[in-house]
Amino acid sequence: MRSVSLIISALTLSIAAALPAAAQDRSFNFALRGGLAVGPEYLGSDTSEAGADVGFTFGSLTFGGRSIGNGVRAVPDNGVSLRGALRVIGERTAADSPELAGLADIDTAVELGLGLTFQQTHWMAFGEVRKGVTGHSAVTGTLGAAYIYRPNENWLITAGPRVSFGDDEFADTYFGVPAGGGSAFASYTATGGALGAGFEVTGSYFLNDTWALEGAVSYEKLLNDAADSPITMNGSDDQWRMRLGVSRVFTLRF
């Protein structure tokens, strides 16, 4: 629950700081997702594992007589809009993955940030920047685009490419091998940049105004220093992920 609180606090404060204060109606509309996911045991692994999945969707913020966004369930207006960004990377330990013996364990990482979306009726493009608040303190980001299909008022389907980025700290944390660490891998210093590219297909079925079923399938090909890392070469640069869960819309008034 701490990660949920961090999401709400970070987004509310960062947006509200730029808006004039006034004693008028104030509300924060968003959705939280929870479910199960299947993906690589760790970045660069060729073994899959199941785990928890969490997600956050920004809907709208009304503060000081001004509003941003038009709600989670509403069709976004064409043009530029703000979005919240959240990514969770599971822990990496030698106890779970014996081939990593000699490498430092990495705690579960929660990355929080903001992004911009350029929306049109049947497609969108977006970019987001995130900062690690647990597990690592590096800066990461994603650029992407998607085709948007709404067959009826209950269904929303999107599909499109993604490119992921990370700074030197992120790359070396997950793909570097320190000299003299006692692992079976040759020493390797990973630098940041574009670290993966692929695609994602998502589907949402709105049960009512509050609840929805959500699922996604994604593929990522690790690139550059992420692909050349001894960790990845011992595993795989093909990274498949699937998730399925439920989401609920919340509106906080303050």
**Residue 194's domain is classified under what CATH number?**
2.40.160
Mean pLDDT by 10 residues, the chain (254 residues): 46 46 72 96 97 89 86 87 89 96 96 95 96 97 97 96 98 95 92 98 96 98 98 98 97 93
Number of neighbouring beta carbons within 10 Å of residue 208: 9
Query: What's the pLDDT at 19?
Result: 44
- Predicted pLDDT of residue 4: 42
pLDDT at 58: 87
Strands 27-40 and 48-63: antiparallel
CA atoms lying within 13 Å on the CB side of residue 212: 26
pLDDT given for residue 21 in this prediction: 43
Burial code of 66-100, b = ≥16 C-beta within 10 A, e = fewer?
eebbebbbeebeeeebbbbbbbbbbebbeeebebb
How many Å is the Cα radius of gyration of the chain? 19
Question: Which of 26, 113, 114, 118 is closest to 76 using CA atoms?
Answer: 118
Residue of 130, 47, 46 lying closest to 88 (CA atoms): 130
d(CA 1, CA 238): 32
Distance separating alpha carbons of residues 79 and 66, to the nearest angstrom = 18
Give which of 209, 236, 211 is closest to 222, Cα–Cα: 236
Q: Which residues are 239's β-sheet partners?
A: 220
Per DSSP, the three-state class of 5 is helix
The angle at the Cα of 154, spanning 211 to 198, to the nearest 5 degrees, equals 90
Contact 58, 15 (CB under 8 A): no
**Number of structural domains found in the chain:** 1
Q: Please state, in angstroms and as integers, the Cα–Cα distance from residue 251 to each residue in 30, 83, 113, 197, 223, following that order.
A: 7, 16, 20, 35, 40
Q: Are 63 and 194 in contact (CB under 8 A)?
A: no
For the chain, the first-to-last Cα distance in angstroms comes to: 20
| Domain span including residue 191 | 2-253
pLDDT value of residue 37: 96
How many CA atoms does the CB half-sphere of 69 hold within 13 Å? 22
Distance between CA atoms of 209 and 248, rounded to whole angstroms? 9
Strand partners, 34: 54, 246
Cβ pair 226, 232 in contact under 8 A: yes
pLDDT at 65: 82
